[in-house]
Structure 1
Amino acid sequence: MAQDTGLLPHSAHWGAFSAGFRDGRLVVEPHPGDPDPNPLLQNFPEALRHRARIARPMIRRGWLERGPGPDPRRGRDEFVPVSWDRALELLAGELRRVQGEHGPGAIFGGSYGWSSAGRFHHAQSQVHRFLNTALGGYVRSVNSYSAGASAVILPHFLGPFEAVARRNVTWDQVAAHSELVLAFGGMALKNSMVASGGVSRHIERGAMAAARARGCEFLLIAPLRDDLPEEAGAEWLPVVPGTDTALMLALAHVLVTEGLHDRAFIDRYCTGWDTFEAYLLGRADGQPKTPDWAAPICGLPADQIRELARRLPGRRVLVTVAHSLQRAEHGEQPIWMACVLAAMLGQIGLPGGGYNYALGALGHYGRRQNAVSAAALPQGRNGVGAFIPVARIADMLLNPGGAFDYNGQRLAYPDIRLVYWAGGNPFHHHQDLNRLRRAFAAVETLVVHEIGWTATARHADIVLPCTMTLEREDIGATATDPLMVAMHQVAEPFAEARDDYAIFSALAERLGRAAEFTEGRSARDWLRHLYEPTRRGLEERGLPAPSFEEFWAAGSLTLPQAEDDGGILRDFRTDPEAHPLPTPSGRIEIASATIAGFGYPDCPGHPAWLPPEEVPTGDAPLRLVANQPATRLHSQFDYGGHSAGMKRRGREVMRINPADATPRGIADGDVVRLRNARGACLATAAVSGDVMPGVVQLPTGAWYDPEDPAEDGSPCVHGNPNVLTRDVGTSRLAQGCTGQLTVVEVERFEGNLPPIRAYDPPGEALAAE
């Protein structure tokens, strides 16, 4: 039992907090200044010493006995416990072999994941710094699963992702100025409750409540009623998932044909209108994009679409687009078309109006920037130029040397022999998990640092147990929250777990590169070093600039924030000649000659409705929305108290409309089987009118738990929807993730329920030492 302590300051991606032990139990209290604390903080107490934690270094038996090489037994084999010295010697030898025989271009530094909110013990930064300084580089991934399509297409028509998502419309502006918010995909609080680096004040609920009290109208255009909070008082327009672009085009058609669009704004600030208008009105393809055309596609009556379009002109309208819309086939199109719709209303660049991509998608969007920055761990120089779009990892491992398109380039997948993963779980993020299993079976060695026995760890050859955030010191900070947190160590490391920095330092020493990796600094020395630019920035502004020791003793530091200047879009609206956008034309590109020049049939030179390839059929008649969970961050701490407490019958909850449940004989609380051609999983049904008919919703993040790990395609008994989702790119332009939507059949499960073993440590062989 842990000794009782006082509460110590700390931070996580879901908020600033204090933690300590009372009566031997971990207690977590949100930051007192947070008006709307995130309940995910309550995953910590159960997670800290859970049986799913990895206690000591482990080597997969097949790899230990037969050496590196492709092996279909990954994920099905036993593990052998070894000492730290043995594990590090084996790993250092394997790194030398791969680097010597194939070069650093045969190593993939995966590590996609949120890991810690701390700026130093950030696993992704640690592994990349190690691979760069000790081995000369690695094959990297670009973009994210959340925003793979938008990050590529936004710079073509408007500006860089960060400028459009972060330095644009703020929640303060929404509360003070917005008159109508057109929220495509909504702004669910479960998403904005989370922010990389953490936030000390969750303000989204209060801002929407204030806007609503002032008279602002919120229109929720989404298949799920609760993608806006009750405080918004939203009008719900349930649309067929993946059809937002068709609806936007129909709205635009009404604006043009009734002369309601702002042609003066288009002429001054935009380019490519004539090309787009020819498509919109049907002169280019013979099909006018009328409400009557859109109605059967998106599921809204044509008259309702017309009425909605006529409500938009003459008001301060904000068009927002959730991440979810672009996590689907042709995900680039709604991102682009929403901007065109906002331009037609002439609102872009106005406070609380225009276009904001992903407002509400993360907690640090819609806030002012800090005037003093917080440093991050330098990652060194990567000597390898090869990369992949992040969601194409299975393609890379299964098709070495294969060609692929990306943003106007024709590239080839590198031949990867070793994958090094720290701080992430691709068996959460990735699609078609049976295919991913085959991909990981194809590499020679898979190395994983983990705190718990995720499916990724179970598929590894070398598993190194690392500490969780409460077991180490760090600095918590983000660019849009003024509170910098001195993250004190709250608990001792679990069993033999070590910090990533300690692991990489020991490996670098064995490879003769310790000085390059550590620069002679301990972990505490690095915290002092990373804090210094912030202290110096405060000093240069004539503000109180406490020493590191003073900051650490105080537990936090409040940084000054810059004025809300509206970013590049406000400057552009004020004077487009003096402040052109960083697009090829310097204007908003309603049509893009650059994209048209790529010749991609799945991403033409202007926004367009492109029907998806995967549609409901007799075998899979329902659309599945596999969105982000409300009870955890991705798959982190799925075994935590809050996450586990929200499951039913130990399984993830799938929501289904009564109109779909009743004919299938499904009642609330039944265990159901979701299936399609790619796989199957079990979940517990919740019958709810908050999901539109024809749609079921099963969030991601339940740890993958195949009923029989030795059987290919075995159903997941725990409720991971990524056994069902399709592993294809959004388009040849961005190659983003399409995991938000798929099609399934759902049936009541009959028979004996299989046990859930997702959190049980895998079998151990006798130690070979």
Structure 2
Amino acid sequence: MSHEGTIVPHYTAAHWGIREVEGTELRHWSEDPFPSRIGLDQLHPHLQRLRVKRPAVRASWLRETSRGPNARDPQEPFVEVGWDFALDLIAGELERVRGRHGNQAIFGGSYGWSSAGRFHHAQSQLHRFLNVIGGYVRHVDTYSLGAASVMMPHVVMPMSKLMVQQSTWPVIAKHTRLFVSFGGVPLKSTQVSPGGVGKHRASEGMRSLHASGAKLVNIGPVGDTLECEGVEWIPIRPNTDVAVMLALAYVINEEGLHNVAFLRDYCVGFERFRASFTGEDGGAPCTPEWAESVSGMPAARIVTLARELVATRSLINMAWSLQRGSHGEQACHALIALASVVGQIGLPGGGFGFGYGSMNVIGSDGGSLRGPTLPQGRNLVSEFIPVARLSDMLLRPGETFTYNGETLQYPDIRLVYWAGGNPFHHHQDLNRLQKAWQRPEAIIVNEQYWTATARRADVVLPATLPLERDDLGYSAREGHLVAMRKVAAPLGAAKHDYEIFQELAERLGARNQFTEGLSASDWLRRLYGECREANPEAELPEFDDFWGQGMVMLDDDVEPQTLLEAYRRDPIAHSLETPSGRIELYSETVANFRLDDCPGYPSWIPPHEWLGSSSITPEVTFHLLSDQPARRLHSQLDASEYSLGGKIDGREPVDISSVDAQRLGVNTGDVVELWNDRGRCLAATRVTDSIRSGVLRLSTGAWLDLDSDGRDRHGNPNVLTLDVGTSSLAQGCAAHTCLVNLRGPIKNPPEVRAFDLPVLR
């Protein structure tokens, strides 16, 4: 097979869309109605300058005769070495740590977003390699959905199923008459789906819904997250959505408008839930007036909205951002409970939505396959952590933590192997992570660019871009399977992750187990063949025909889909996977965990930090929201011309209300400093009328750029965010619970140095 050669490809795929390719030029796929511009300049020299071109070892680490914790100063020089030297060094470190401490001292870090390809998927490749040499400590859940991934199975269904079973946009546009979204529908986040977007459908879905005459209500601190004309924006304090949901349920119950039959036949625990929000259990009743005092939403509007929800076909949506805060589990539970009280779950256009606007796949009516997946083998190490507890694991070895009702222990990690991710973007309280990062004896990274993580590694191995290798592009409910033909030759000495791990496996006596005797080309044929066999109804062509035509698009004429429609039709035959088989408004399982910060019923619990606290200084204290960026995926391609085009003089913009800007004397373009006890960063102000007074918005993804005093010069919000679990149930990411102080304008701010290369010897 010649696809590793110089064949001119027709298509490739990225998380943000399918691309047509001519030579090395990328263009939008002509059939995508709303294509994303992210990634079209991946091969631009400005980005290529930042590539890791040869294996490199931290100079001080190379000199060490014995291994131990070290500072890992990102300004320290690296020594470029040959591949054999680097691989021998890494294999020796793996052997040393396994021999002295066991495989439970190895952490396999990866976050899975480095490529849309299903074979050259860095997370899968890393985990497969570590499994064949005895296993590793893994992470569970995601930064995006940590609280929901644990809570939703107790209440309604696992997130993996909920994401692909939600009502499709055409159904919503046809039947929904009232669309209420807590957190809006931020279409910038729908530019991506894991494995790649086929057609960007969310924009058209929202336009069709608006054109149908449906009423749209956006409840949240930011007003531009529901991008349609005529949207009613109700600004509330961040982290107070649950209080509003409980008050809506209170009004519906008090006025006798709750759907008694639905609550009886499809739910368990309503009486216990009702006792909590009415005050029958001894607590304060969740009245509209109480909710107004917490959230700032007028009590009168809570009353009228409650009546509107039950008077017409209504869908209540919640953005993922709500559960990325203190007690985020409660937002998930309250969403399902409120929709159950309204009683339209399972009806076309009614019920609840979770994450419309969070990824393109939510609500997509594209076709679906049982897609190609690289088998990772069996992990012989049982220890794991919730992904957002990375710093805790490194700083607190041997200490206990709770997760989903279990009491577990943090392992003692001596070696970290990272591929396909950038924890110095994703994690919270990056100054704390930097201290934790000093504790392992060895940190190895496969990376394409000199990111903040690469500059804090001991050994950095140059990995290829997705455009520099052949692969299979696929994403559930996106309706495509793409032959991702190589567009360009690997830069410098870069290797595919598969090559890197097979050479390491050979040094550790596990090459045959890792490769199964297959080349990368053989694996593509095998994975495609398995996919073809698993989906006979799709009538996929033979591999060579598929590779020649470049893409298979599934039939777009799929059946309309309504979430939980079958369950509503027959709750016995289509019972849920919850302990009761029904929607659990009161979860005995969660209640029996006896957690002070996560009861068995939805409850508003004051966040660790919030604008309602009596200890803040309102004149200079703000609630910081750190949402997804519009011009990149997480921190990927931050140095691209498209991403740089969204900055102000090279610095990330922070949105501030016109009221606050006038009060503080700052204008668009002024540099200000945000600070709290965790860290400091500079950002350029962008004045807007689309954000609530007292709230700031600074998108994630600006490459970390700390000066000698530990202040970030570039605008990375995660030097400020809170590194605590959402609760002791899920231990998820609580980034959206964050208070900061603001001062400025800053005169003569320092130059941004985020994209400087390290010193290479």
Instruction: Calculate the TM-score normalised by the size of structure 2.
Output: 0.96
One-letter amino acid of the structure 1 residue matched with residue 16 of structure 2: W
**Residue 687 (1) aligns with residue 681 (2):** no
Structure 1, residues 701-748: CA drift from partner, whole Å, max 9, x if none?
00000012xx5xx10000000000010000000000001231111222
Task: Give the drift of 1:481.
Answer: 1.6
One-letter amino acid of the structure 2 residue matched with residue 595 of structure 1: V
Question: Which residue is 2:107 aligned to?
Answer: 108
Question: Which residue is 2:738 aligned to?
Answer: 742
SS in 2 for 1:470: helix
Question: Which residue is 1:90 aligned to?
Answer: 89
Q: 2:223 aligns with which of 222, 225, 248?
A: 225
Structure 1, residues 139-167: CA drift from partner, whole Å, max 9, x if none?
00000000000000001011111222221
Q: Is the Cα–Cα contact under 8 Å of residues 171 and 562 in structure 2 kept in the other structure?
A: no
- Of residues 173-182 and 364-373 in structure 1, the stretch that sits farther from structure 2 once superposed is 364-373
Q: Is the Cα–Cα contact under 8 Å of residues 74 and 461 in structure 1 kept in the other structure?
A: no
Task: Give the drift of 1:5.
Answer: 9.8
Tell me: CA distance 1:425–1:47, structure 2 relative to 1, closer, same or farther (3 Å): farther
Q: Is the Cα–Cα contact under 8 Å of residues 176 and 214 in structure 2 kept in the other structure?
A: yes
CA distance in 2, matches of 1:442, 1:181: 49
**Residue 559 (1) aligns with residue 554 (2):** yes
Task: Give the drift of 1:581.
Answer: 1.1
**Residue 19 (1) aligns with residue 21 (2):** yes
CA distance in 2, matches of 1:382, 1:6: 39
Task: Give the drift of 1:755.
Answer: 1.8
CA distance in 1, matches of 2:369, 2:244: 42
Instruction: Calculate the TM-score normalised by the size of structure 1.
Output: 0.95
SS in 2 for 1:312: helix
Tell me: CA distance 1:388–1:96, structure 2 relative to 1, closer, same or farther (3 Å): same
Q: Is the Cα–Cα contact under 8 Å of residues 110 and 141 in structure 1 kept in the other structure?
A: yes
Question: Which residue is 2:77 aligned to?
Answer: 78
SS in 2 for 1:503: helix
Question: Which residue is 1:216 aligned to?
Answer: 214
Structure 1, residues 450-508: CA drift from partner, whole Å, max 9, x if none?
11111111110010011111111111011212211100111111111111111111111
- Structure 1 unaligned regions, length at least 5: none
**Residue 29 (1) aligns with residue 27 (2):** yes
Tell me: CA distance 1:322–1:209, structure 2 relative to 1, closer, same or farther (3 Å): same
CA distance in 2, matches of 1:506, 1:48: 31
Tell me: CA distance 1:230–1:562, structure 2 relative to 1, closer, same or farther (3 Å): closer
Q: Is the Cα–Cα contact under 8 Å of residues 167 and 561 in structure 2 kept in the other structure?
A: yes
Tell me: CA distance 1:723–1:545, structure 2 relative to 1, closer, same or farther (3 Å): closer
Structure 1, residues 270-289: CA drift from partner, whole Å, max 9, x if none?
11111111111111134111
**Residue 597 (1) aligns with residue 596 (2):** no
SS in 2 for 1:175: helix
Tell me: CA distance 1:87–1:327, structure 2 relative to 1, closer, same or farther (3 Å): same
Q: Is the Cα–Cα contact under 8 Å of residues 61 and 77 in structure 1 kept in the other structure?
A: yes
Question: Which residue is 1:377 aligned to?
Answer: 374
**Residue 246 (1) aligns with residue 248 (2):** no
**Residue 282 (1) aligns with residue 297 (2):** no
CA distance in 1, matches of 2:729, 2:328: 10
SS in 1 for 2:311: coil
Question: Which residue is 2:527 aligned to?
Answer: 530
CA distance in 2, matches of 1:81, 1:274: 67
CA distance in 2, matches of 1:512, 1:50: 35
CA distance in 2, matches of 1:658, 1:351: 41
Question: Which residue is 2:116 aligned to?
Answer: 117
CA distance in 1, matches of 2:557, 2:128: 31
Structure 1, residues 590-641: CA drift from partner, whole Å, max 9, x if none?
1111111111111011000101121341286111111111110000010011
One-letter amino acid of the structure 2 residue matched with residue 665 of structure 1: G
Match runs of 1:333-348 below 5 Å: 333-348=330-345
Q: Is the Cα–Cα contact under 8 Å of residues 673 and 746 in structure 2 kept in the other structure?
A: no
**Residue 52 (1) aligns with residue 50 (2):** yes
SS in 1 for 2:712: coil
CA distance in 2, matches of 1:169, 1:181: 13
Question: Which residue is 1:8 aligned to?
Answer: 10
Match runs of 1:255-266 below 5 Å: 255-266=252-263
Task: Give the drift of 1:753.
Answer: 2.1
Match runs of 1:182-331 below 5 Å: 182-230=180-228, 233-331=230-328
CA distance in 1, matches of 2:446, 2:103: 19
Structure 1, residues 220-251: CA drift from partner, whole Å, max 9, x if none?
112111111236x4211111110000011111
**Residue 154 (1) aligns with residue 146 (2):** no
CA distance in 1, matches of 2:582, 2:534: 35
Task: Give the drift of 1:562.
Answer: 9.0
Match runs of 1:386-401 below 5 Å: 386-401=383-398
Question: Which residue is 1:482 aligned to?
Answer: 479
Q: Is the Cα–Cα contact under 8 Å of residues 43 and 643 in structure 1 kept in the other structure?
A: no
Q: Is the Cα–Cα contact under 8 Å of residues 319 and 354 in structure 1 kept in the other structure?
A: yes
Q: 2:756 aligns with which of 754, 760, 764?
A: 760
One-letter amino acid of the structure 1 residue matched with residue 262 of structure 2: F
Tell me: CA distance 1:357–1:370, structure 2 relative to 1, closer, same or farther (3 Å): same
Tell me: CA distance 1:385–1:537, structure 2 relative to 1, closer, same or farther (3 Å): closer
Structure 1, residues 549-605: CA drift from partner, whole Å, max 9, x if none?
111110101235795475772221111122221111111111111111111111011
One-letter amino acid of the structure 2 residue matched with residue 549 of structure 1: D
Q: Is the Cα–Cα contact under 8 Å of residues 248 and 288 in structure 2 kept in the other structure?
A: yes
**Residue 448 (1) aligns with residue 436 (2):** no
- Of residues 106-115 and 730-739 in structure 1, the stretch that sits farther from structure 2 once superposed is 106-115
Question: Which residue is 2:656 aligned to?
Answer: 656
One-letter amino acid of the structure 2 residue matched with residue 716 of structure 1: D
One-letter amino acid of the structure 2 residue matched with residue 440 of structure 1: W
Task: Give the drift of 1:20.
Answer: 3.6
CA distance in 2, matches of 1:156, 1:109: 28
CA distance in 2, matches of 1:51, 1:222: 41
CA distance in 2, matches of 1:560, 1:366: 16
Tell me: CA distance 1:755–1:378, structure 2 relative to 1, closer, same or farther (3 Å): same
- The number of residues matched between the two structures is 750
One-letter amino acid of the structure 2 residue matched with residue 80 of structure 1: V
Q: Is the Cα–Cα contact under 8 Å of residues 666 and 747 in structure 1 kept in the other structure?
A: no
Structure 1, residues 162-189: CA drift from partner, whole Å, max 9, x if none?
2222212111211221111111111111
One-letter amino acid of the structure 2 residue matched with residue 633 of structure 1: L
One-letter amino acid of the structure 2 residue matched with residue 53 of structure 1: R
CA distance in 1, matches of 2:377, 2:555: 29
- Of residues 6-15 and 504-513 in structure 1, the stretch that sits farther from structure 2 once superposed is 6-15
Match runs of 1:622-661 below 5 Å: 622-661=622-661
